[in-house]
């Protein structure tokens, strides 16, 4: 997610750009591989709208009290907790300063608003990362700091779970780490371990969501890290081992279908953001599964439909690739009923598809709550 909208000029050729030079990391044990088809048990409505609430910063969209969040939103992601340094693992979370957000409540009032939202059936979740919050768990010490500091924030505010919105250089794959089923890169394995620690600590009702960009998920169909050609960006597909290892605990994956370059779908064609075709193709990839780096022996298994939502910008102000209400709803109907499809045709209809995610509640309020109103009505949230 972007604190301020930023136009990206990403194109497919960038996938073969010169490799990064990540800092050396210490060795870490491989994560266990989860069983395909097992699902998390955190209780949610059959259809959900998940939205990010700007709580730690201002960006022109305006402060929105939790008490004023429209009722259509079922999951409220508090954005963002950020680390004290990229490699410390230690998270900090604080409300937007009064100098930037004059209407910000006191911490006590904010906690009371969280309690009230939860009493109305909402899940209030701590989102970690964002555009500025680079998190690289290079060591087991950073993993421990991540778990303890995240737990302290969750306990202090009485939150329902955690959202992983790692962007930029937070996740990457080291040379030789080519199998998403048994990763060896410490920033990957330590994150998997940290999230297992947190879900173990809080139990099956703990909400675990992830909001990767398409580059970190669907691009893995063509390119995975440096890959067999040795020239791809080491971040390509880097979320795949995290999603796979935690699929038994993952409540919701809502890939950002925006701020994206053209992505090759399961039909071998490139799809471009901003229309129903893109959402149909990108969602179908995680619902059907796909060979990683085109290798049939490395097949990323599908997620259960109830674990999947589509990530969207709330308005043209919120991100590059905004899609009109009509196009979003056409894509939703195509994916859930198999009817009205244009462009890409999904493998099969998934009536259990969980919902939509938006960046953000603030930008939607700024634009008159169109996202919550129109999509809430269409999905029945």
CA 370 – CA 181 distance, rounded (Å): 40
What is the C-alpha radius of gyration for the chain, rounded to an integer number of angstroms?
19
H or E stretch covering 79: strand 75-83
- Spatial CA neighbour of 15 closest among 271, 273, 226: 226
On the CB side of 106, CA atoms within 13 Å amount to 2
Query: Which token pair is 380?
Result: 């029945």
Strands 252-256 and 308-313: parallel
Compute, in degrees rounded to 10, the torsion defined by CA atoms 65, 59, 10, 256.
Answer: 0
Catalytic site includes residue 167: yes
Contacts of 106 (CB under 8 A, 6+ apart): none
Cβ(259)–Cβ(319) below 8 Å: yes
Which of 167, 174, 213, 306 does the annotation list as catalytic?
A: 167
DSSP three-state, residue 67 = helix
Residue entry with tokens 């690289």: 136
∠ CA 199-372-108, rounded to 5°: 55
Closest CA to 6 of 217, 274, 318: 318
Q: For residue 22, give the 3-state DSSP assignment.
A: coil
- Residue 220 and residue 218: Cα distance in Å, rounded? 5
Give dist(CA 286, CA 59) in Å, integer. 32
Residues acting as catalytic residues: 167
């Amino acid at each position: 997610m972007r604190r301020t909208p930023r136009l990206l000029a990403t194109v497919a050729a960038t996938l073969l750009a010169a490799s990064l030079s990540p800092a050396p990391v210490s060795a870490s044990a491989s994560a266990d591989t989860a069983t395909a088809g097992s699902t998390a048990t955190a209780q949610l409505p059959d259809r959900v709208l998940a939205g990010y609430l700007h709580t730690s910063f201002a960006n022109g969209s305006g402060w929105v009290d939790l008490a004023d969040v429209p009722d259509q939103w079922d999951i409220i992601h508090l954005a963002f907790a950020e680390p004290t340094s990229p490699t410390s693992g230690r998270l900090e979370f604080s409300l937007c300063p009064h100098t930037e957000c004059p209407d910000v409540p006191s911490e006590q009032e904010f906690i009371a608003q969280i309690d009230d939202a939860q009493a109305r059936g909402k899940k209030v979740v701590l989102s970690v990362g964002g555009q500025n919050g680079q998190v690289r768990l290079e060591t087991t010490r950073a993993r421990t700091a991540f778990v303890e500091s995240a737990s302290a924030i969750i306990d202090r505010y009485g939150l329902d779970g955690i959202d992983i919105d790692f962007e930029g250089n937070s996740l990457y794959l080291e040379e030789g780490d080519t199998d998403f089923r048994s990763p060896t890169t410490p920033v990957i394995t330590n994150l998997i371990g940290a999230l297992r620690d947190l879900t173990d600590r809080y139990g099956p009702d703990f909400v675990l969501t992830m909001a990767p960009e398409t580059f970190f998920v669907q691009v893995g169909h063509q390119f995975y890290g440096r890959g067999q050609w040795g020239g791809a960006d080491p971040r390509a597909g880097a979320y795949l081992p995290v999603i796979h290892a935690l699929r038994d605990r993952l409540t919701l994956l809502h890939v950002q279908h925006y701020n994206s370059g053209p992505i090759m779908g399961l039909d071998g064609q490139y799809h471009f953001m901003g229309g129903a075709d893109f959402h149909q193709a990108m969602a179908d990839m995680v619902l059907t599964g796909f060979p990683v780096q085109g290798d049939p022996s490395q097949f990323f298994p599908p997620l259960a439909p109830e674990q999947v939502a589509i990530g969207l910008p709330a308005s043209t102000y919120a991100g590059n690739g905004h899609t009109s209400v009509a196009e979003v709803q056409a894509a939703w109907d195509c994916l859930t009923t198999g009817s009205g499809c244009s462009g890409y045709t999904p493998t099969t209809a998934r009536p259990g598809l969980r919902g939509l995610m938006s960046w953000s509640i603030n930008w939607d309020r700024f634009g008159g709550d169109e996202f919550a109103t129109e999509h809430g009505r269409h999905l029945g949230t």
